[in-house]
Structure 1
Amino acid sequence: MKPDDTAHGEPLPDTANPFLGRTSEIPGLDTLSEDADAFLIDQFGTIHDGEHPYPDAIETLHAIRSAGKKVILLSNSGRRATNNDARLAAMGFTTDCYDASLCSGEVGWADLRADPLPCLRQHCRILLLARDPSLDILEGFDIEPVDTVESADLIMLAGSQTDLYGYDTLWDRIRPGIARNIPLVCTNPDRLMLAGGQLHPGAGTLAEAYRNAGGHVRWYGKPYPRLYRAAFALLPGIPRPRIFGVGDSIEHDVAGAAARGCNSVLTRTGIIAHASDAALAAEMTRYACRPTTIMSRFQW
């Protein structure tokens, strides 16, 4: 069992971040040219809104690479990489925008293939909760989709539909699995999601409730270690302090980077687009970390 397979699923810091201190505001990423060699850049809420690129996002990615910096898109997308990359391409984020694209669904698939839960070592009945009904995250396993947790051997939580059905409805759907000792795999640990311009509970909130009620949860994505280990493997020789995580979530992008000894840039877009300074300060206190820098939006 790996560190973040525990019932609590807390991310374990690989190293201490020596750069946590007073947060500075910057106009754009070019300000960090002398300090950064690589950027781990969030997708939804940072470079796009799920359907369209944010203004200047594509140009900024090109500018980062032209400056000789590595760009890894690091996403909590619960689907496999081919699906995620196709969505990026449809929005104009072609492969010349980045050096690599990593998503929690792909890392989760690879890890489950290498270290499957006991129920996946045989014919396994799967209850999937996701915005897309595809089970590509369990490709290669002997699986059978089912509609109720009472007939399931495993719950796959790859995305949130709380905007469509409400939190209580989805929680009532998975809660009986706790008494049956049904494990839950969460490939999208985002606690909040944007839909229709409104914030809703994310898949991570449901997984957290399942864990807190005594259920077993295996987590993939930011801020947990596996996704970062995959990213660092693509950045050999680059010291952690010269790697900057960039995103709109203090819990995932900032705390995840800090726990690995990296620096961070918080963009005031996405889930924090309308957050007050006081609300952001409260989030920093809650997760015991501060971004190294803050900027109004993703730009060079």
Structure 2
Amino acid sequence: MTLPLALPGLGEIAGDYDILLCDVWGVIHNGRESWPDACEALARFNREAGHVVLISNSPRPSHDVVAQLDGLNVPRESWRAFVTSGDATRAELAKRAPGPAWIIGPDRDWPLYDGLGLDVAKGAADAAFISVTGPVDDNVETPEDYRERLAEGAARDLELICANPDRVVQRGDKLIYCGGSLADLYETLGGRVTMAGKPFGPIYDLALKEAEALLGKPVDRSRVLCIGDGVVTDVLGANRQNLDCLFIAQGIHGDKARGEDGRIDPARAADLLKAETTYARYATLDLAW
């Protein structure tokens, strides 16, 4: 397997790209605080090289997540457009309206359903399909807390629409389960799953449409760089789209890609990638200029 190139900083390759499709959680913040070096790297790219489109597996519509970024002190100059898994998933949900939908997820994710005309089911027995954004209480719940209930849906052959394909994210110094972990469990139970966020095509279609609007011309895909820490979401998505990728190898991976000298070890980064048969052109521990 070809090793990723250890990248000292984004500035080394900024001139090679017009568009960055940059992941959010795990790259520019951890759910509790933003990282100034990463935010400044994106802002500098916007000033000197091209345009940053944030591409997040948040299950909420992008306009609803902007306030969260502001609250975490992510500067508006760090990005020029923003698309989420929630944006892409709304189209899938609209196709299935009025349902009824058995909805699983915390109250903060309800903006996903605004204006879609979906009826809400009480459970598997009266549902036409299942919509999952994540555990109701991701501070304490695990996928196993949902096994029995999801088994009922699989037994009825209900399709599960997952609005957040991420399996885990880092919140502060803790890893929490996301919608993708529930979708994984549902598939092991024999259930059918549909997802529109990373690594699947619909969210990239939206992101590249935003990029084209920013550029005012068709996108040259050879000048698009994806940035992210999720191997099965960000890196796999970039591979499927035939786009270059910068793998952020710390965050949810801890120190697994850190060498004895404290820097990125390309061989260790490659080990993380090959576990899912993926490849990244570049790798670094944290995003910086």
TM-score, structure 2 length as denominator? Answer: 0.86
For residues 21-52 of structure 1, the C-alpha deviation after alignment (integer angstroms, 9 at most, x for no partner) is 43111111001123211111100010001121
SS of the equivalent of 1:64 reads helix
Alignment of structure 1 residues 160-175 onto 2, 5 Å: 160=135, 161-175=137-151
Distance in 2 between the 1:265 and 1:183 partners?
34
Asked if the contact 1:79/1:104 (under 8 Å) is kept, the reply is yes
- Pick from 144, 158, 161: which aligns with 1:185? 161
Aligned to 1:48: 29
Q: CA deviation at 1:97?
A: 2.1
Aligned to 1:154: 129
SS of the equivalent of 2:131 reads strand
Larger CA deviation: 50-59 vs 218-227: 50-59
Q: CA deviation at 1:142?
A: 3.1
List alignment gaps of at least 5 residues for structure 1: 1-19
Distance in 1 between the 2:239 and 2:118 partners?
37
Aligned to 1:127: 102
Aligned to 2:261: none
SS of the equivalent of 1:72 reads strand
Q: Which 4+ residue blocks in structure 1 deviate beyond 6 angstroms?
A: none
Asked if the contact 1:74/1:102 (under 8 Å) is kept, the reply is yes
SS of the equivalent of 2:226 reads strand
Paired-residue identity, %: 26
SS of the equivalent of 2:197 reads coil
Q: Which amino acid aligns with 1:109?
A: R
Distance in 2 between the 1:150 and 1:111 partners?
22
Q: CA deviation at 1:217?
A: 1.5
Pick closer, same or farther for the CA change 1:182–1:270 going to 2, 3 Å. same
Distance in 1 between the 2:91 and 2:191 partners?
23
Aligned to 1:232: 208
Distance in 1 between the 2:282 and 2:273 partners?
13
Matched, 1:297 2:286: yes
Larger CA deviation: 226-235 vs 156-165: 156-165
Asked if the contact 2:3/2:270 (under 8 Å) is kept, the reply is no
Q: Which amino acid aligns with 1:242?
A: R
Distance in 2 between the 1:33 and 1:281 partners?
23
Q: CA deviation at 1:134?
A: 4.1
SS of the equivalent of 2:277 reads coil
Aligned to 1:65: 46
For residues 192-214 of structure 1, the C-alpha deviation after alignment (integer angstroms, 9 at most, x for no partner) is 23245233443212212212432
Matched, 1:138 2:113: yes
Aligned to 2:198: 222
Distance in 2 between the 1:108 and 1:77 partners?
10
Aligned to 1:12: none
- Pick from 231, 246, 269: which aligns with 2:250? 269
TM-score, structure 1 length as denominator? Answer: 0.83
Distance in 2 between the 1:282 and 1:22 partners?
9
Pick closer, same or farther for the CA change 1:196–1:97 going to 2, 3 Å. closer
SS of the equivalent of 1:193 reads strand
Asked if the contact 1:56/1:299 (under 8 Å) is kept, the reply is yes
Matched, 1:100 2:81: yes
Matched, 1:198 2:167: no
Higher relative contact order (CA 8 A, sep 6+): 1
Q: CA deviation at 1:184?
A: 1.0
Q: CA deviation at 1:215?
A: 1.6
Q: CA deviation at 1:138?
A: 2.1
Asked if the contact 2:226/2:243 (under 8 Å) is kept, the reply is yes
- Pick from 7, 11, 14: which aligns with 1:33? 14
Pick closer, same or farther for the CA change 1:273–1:175 going to 2, 3 Å. same
Aligned to 2:189: 213
Distance in 2 between the 1:193 and 1:296 partners?
16
